[in-house]
Chain A
Amino acid sequence: GPNNVSMGELDRIAQNIIKSHLETCQYTTEELQQLAWQTHSYEEVKMFQGKPRDVLWQQCAIQITHAIQYVVEFAKRISGFMELCQNDQILLLKSGCLEVVLVRMCRAFNPLNNTVLFEGKYGGMQMFKALGCDDLVSAVFDFAKSLCALQLTEEEIALFSAAVLISTDRPWLMEPRKVQKLQEKIYFALQHIMQKNHMDEDALAKLISRIPTLSALCTLHTEELQAFQQLHPETVNVLFPPLYKELFN
């Protein structure tokens, strides 16, 4: 294997990450397939559109927070993550958890009709109109569509999620070398699996090229939250989940 990592070790890393991913996904692949064509009716979409802005924001903050709790559990099960110092565990999760949620979201996205699973059924972008941040919503939908186009397997989604999370690009890491070693192994494992699964030699490069978009989406989310908070400070302070505030405020 590359850089003195044996194939056996890469395989062990891959198996651990895939298992961690499957154990901590909110929905199984089968559940998602069953739901894929259950879409919100016109009336249901109208109902979302008619909600006050702060109510829909709160609803989305709750959903995101719920998804993040699963990502924390995913991180904890990755071999090596809990061996990092506590500062770095918190830092990686704080800066990467929303990115992983967005990667995972492509599992619950139907690219054939551009709908996403929200509140039990699939619905299009118009469902989020009342949030008042069309740019962010359409950028998130574009991202999901572009990731779906790569036709990743569940194993590749798992390894890519881990690679996004365990990243040396985060500032203020106390043990960047330790993080780097873990990240390199994850990338080798991802590369190995993608070479096996994809005819397209550039598949991995295409996947990696989505990372800057992920980080731009998270920046945009923070900006939209700040703008919303200026108008509805009491909604954020009183009604938003404490974990959401801790991570993004």
Chain B
Amino acid sequence: KEKHKILHQLLQNSTS
């Protein structure tokens, strides 16, 4: 998960 921090973050952000 640490290796894919940004992707993880993008997935967590609510869909605008």
Q: Which residues of A contact B (CB under 8 A)?
A: 69, 72-73, 76-77, 82, 86, 89-90, 93-94, 242-243, 246-247
B8/A72 in contact, CB under 8 A: no
A246/B15 in contact, CB under 8 A: no
The residues of B that contact A73 with a CB separation of less than 8 Å are 15
B6/A86 in contact, CB under 8 A: no
| A101 to B: closest C-beta gap in Å | 14
The residues of B that contact A89 with a CB separation of less than 8 Å are 11
Which B residue's beta carbon lies closest to that of A20?
Answer: B15
The residues of B that contact A243 with a CB separation of less than 8 Å are 6-7, 10
Q: How many A-B residue pairs have CB under 8 A?
A: 32
B5/A86 in contact, CB under 8 A: no
In angstroms, Cα B8 to Cα A94, docked, is 11
In angstroms, Cα B1 to Cα A249, docked, is 15
| 20 sample A-B contacts, Cβ–Cβ < 8 Å, listed by A number | A69-B10, A72-B10, A76-B11, A76-B15, A77-B15, A82-B11, A90-B4, A90-B8, A90-B11, A93-B7, A94-B4, A94-B7, A242-B6, A243-B7, A243-B10, A246-B3, A246-B4, A246-B5, A246-B6, A246-B7
Which B residue's beta carbon lies closest to that of A245?
Answer: B6
The residues of A that contact B8 with a CB separation of less than 8 Å are 86, 90
Which A residue's beta carbon lies closest to that of B12?
Answer: A86
In angstroms, Cα B6 to Cα A5, docked, is 36
In angstroms, Cα B3 to Cα A2, docked, is 40
The residues of A that contact B10 with a CB separation of less than 8 Å are 69, 72, 243
| A11 to B: closest C-beta gap in Å | 22
In angstroms, Cα B7 to Cα A243, docked, is 7
In angstroms, Cα B1 to Cα A73, docked, is 19
A90/B7 in contact, CB under 8 A: yes
